[in-house]
Structures are given as C-alpha cells and as structure tokens.
Amino acid sequence: MTSSAAALRELRREFEARGWCRKPTARILLELLLNLSLTIAGAAVFLTTASLVVRAAALVLVAAGSMALGTNTHNSSHYATSRRNWVNEFLTFFGYPFFLGLSATFWWQQHVTVHHTAPNVVGVDQDADLAPWLARTGDEVARTSGLRRFYYQHLQCLALPLLLAFNCFNMTKTGWVHLFRALLDPDRRTRKHWFDLAAMLLHYTCLLALPMLVVGARPVLTLYLLRTVFVGYLMFAILAPGHFPAEAACLSRPPDPSDYIRMQTFATVNFRVGWVGRLLCSGLQYQIEHHLFPGIAYVYYPKISVVLEKFCRKHGLPYRSYQWDHVLYKCFATFRKPPAALEALDAGWDTAQV
C-alpha cells in the first residue's frame, strides 16, 4: 500500500498541475444562490396559495432547494469552496445551523473529523451506528435476542420508510446535544461553538418566528415540519448510497493507518445521476473521489473520476459505481439482510465489480 499511497500523492500533484485544485468560488456561490432562490420562491408560493396541488409542488421545490443548498455548503465544510478559511466557515454556518437547523460544530466533528477518517467502522463512525432502531450488520443482529432480533430480521426493512421521516429531526436533536455539551465544558468550547449557537437561534427566528408574524403560525409550522420530513428522506437518498449497500464494507474495528486508501475505497461506492441528481448532490455521487480528495471542489469530480478509476484498477482497489435507483435498492436490501462486518480489509473483496 505504500506504493499506492505514493502514487496517490503523485496523482494529486497531477490534479494541481491540471488546475483541479483551484477553488471555483464564483461558480459554487452561483449554484448556492440558485438553490436559495428556488427554496425562497417555493416557500413564498406555499405560504400564499390555497391550492393543495400548487402547495405540493412548492413543497417539493423547498425540500429540493434546501437539500441542494446543504450539499453545496457541505463542500464548504471541507474548506473546498474558497481559499479563505473564513469564507468556508461562514458558508458552513449559513448552510447548516442557519438554513437547515443542524449544528455546524457537530457536523465538523462527526462527519469531517470522524466519518472521513473511519468510514463504516463500527463503534467509531456514528453514521454507521443506527442502533437501536436499525441494525447495519449481521453481527449487530447476532448480539440480540427475542423481540429485538425478530424486529431486526423481519421488520426493520418495513419500518425504514417511517423512520426516515424522523431522520432530520434526529440529526437536529443530536446536534443540539453536542453543542450544549461543548458550551458547558470550558475545556471544549471555542468561538465556533458560540457562532454555532447564534446561527441556530437565528434559524428559528428567521425561519419560524418572523414568518409567523406575517402569515400566521399554522402555515409556517406546516411548511417547516414538512420540509424537515422531506429533507430527511432526501438525506437518505443522497448520503446512504455511498456507504450503506452491502458492497460498501463495514469494518468491526479500525484498520491499520497504512490501509487508509484501501479503507476509503472498500467502504465507499459511487452512484450515477441525471441532471436533477447533479443539482441535488453537489458532487456527493462521487463518494470515492470525495473521500480521497475532500478538499477538492466537487466541480472537478467528473474529470477526476476518469483518472481515479484507472488508478484504482491499476492498484487493485475497488471502484464501484451504480445507477442511483439500483444503489438505493441495495441500501434497502442491506436492512432486509444485514451483511457481516469484516474483521480486516479483505484483499479478495470484489475489486472488479462496477
């Protein structure tokens, strides 16, 4: 793996020479403004019309625009939008706590620090820990008995669509817990935690309190709750395909640091989308590229993918890519029959699978 690590560094130097490490800030900001405009337009229509059909269409626009804005500023949370760190952090605070009501400091900790260094590692990556509601691996099922085992074996795949309705609510709650614990601990809290709290409070002020003063509480609360539910479904549709299919290996323990590249490629798959999916995902369909080069803007991932796939084939690394609908089916199949977690990265894993 030392040779492939060195080759990966050489690959990055090649990307730099081709200009793919530059920050396309203007384009990313234009896409963010488009997503924000679509969301605001959809919200205005929802709050001012009585037609259920028009409201339903407006709700779809609000949810899609909100999710697209979240994936766009996800790029900023990895400091990939601008050369200036304060711009990336401002955009992260705007997209996560202010616009979506999700703690930015929690996201930086759970996603950027933990998930990206140990994807699908049981007991480390919180994104892989769905207990007690869902079991990701057969090992989790085997450790249970009675009604819980029966639920995991026969009912959790049926409960999944209902549970996803609470996906975003749960992330909000977990983020608040993380934020309050940090603020109450003098050794942990930083200026970012206070910014996070201010942005979260502004979220409820600007997205709930002020609109209620204009059009009343009922339509605003209805839109807010429905948006949160729909965004929860979209989160699963965009974030789960990269790591939840059985083809994305779960590890029962952290691998050796020298296995970093293999861990990222074994635990990650790509999925192919159309133009709507590209707007929604902001590059998250290229999970392999994103995990190996998180600091590179998603704008360059289509070009990088061509080079990276050849690199993976050359070094015996898996590079899997599926159609979006097919990989979503695979995600649901995982919960119907959870796969076994691996004790260690298996060199015999199906690296030729595409």
Determine, yes or no, domain membership for 353. Answer: no
Determine, yes or no, domain membership for 125. Answer: yes
Nearest CA-CA partner of 193 in 181, 179, 205:
179
Q: 354 falls in which pLDDT band (50, 70, 90)?
A: very low
Compute CA distances 140 → 4, 208, 240, 266, whole Å: 33, 40, 19, 20
The model's pLDDT over 254-269, given as tens digits with 9 standing for 90+, comes to 877 778 899 999 999 9
Determine the Cα–Cα distance for residues 340 and 249; give it in Å rounded to an integer.
9
Provide, rounded to the nearest whole percent, the portion of the chain with pLDDT above 70.
96
pTM score: 0.92
Determine, yes or no, domain membership for 87. Answer: yes
Name, in order, each residue with C-beta under 8 angstroms of 145's C-beta and a sequence gap of 6 or more. none
Q: Could you give the angle at the alpha carbon of 325 between the alpha carbons of 323 and 329, nearest 5°?
A: 115
Determine the Cα–Cα distance for residues 182 and 326; give it in Å rounded to an integer.
40
DSSP class per residue in 46-91: HHH---HHHHHHHHHHHHHHHHHHHHHHHHHHTT-S-SSHHHHHHH
298: buried, middle or exposed (CB in 10 Å: 19+, 13-18, 0-12)?
A: buried
Name the domain count of the chain: 1
Determine, yes or no, domain membership for 345. Answer: no
Residue whose structure tokens are 């028009």:
54
Determine, yes or no, domain membership for 343. Answer: no
The model's pLDDT over 100-120, given as tens digits with 9 standing for 90+, comes to 999 999 999 999 999 999 999
Give the domain extent around 210.
2-335
The model's pLDDT over 204-245, given as tens digits with 9 standing for 90+, comes to 999 999 999 999 999 999 999 999 999 999 999 999 999 999
The model's pLDDT over 53-78, given as tens digits with 9 standing for 90+, comes to 999 999 999 999 999 999 999 999 99
Tokens of 61: 């626009």
Res 351: pLDDT: 38
Residue whose structure tokens are 């997205």:
207
Q: 342 falls in which pLDDT band (50, 70, 90)?
A: confident
| Percent helix, percent strand, percent coil in the chain, to nearest 5 | 70, 5, 30
Determine the Cα–Cα distance for residues 339 and 200; give it in Å rounded to an integer.
38
Res 353: pLDDT: 41
Compute CA distances 226 → 55, 233, 299, 339, whole Å: 11, 11, 31, 33
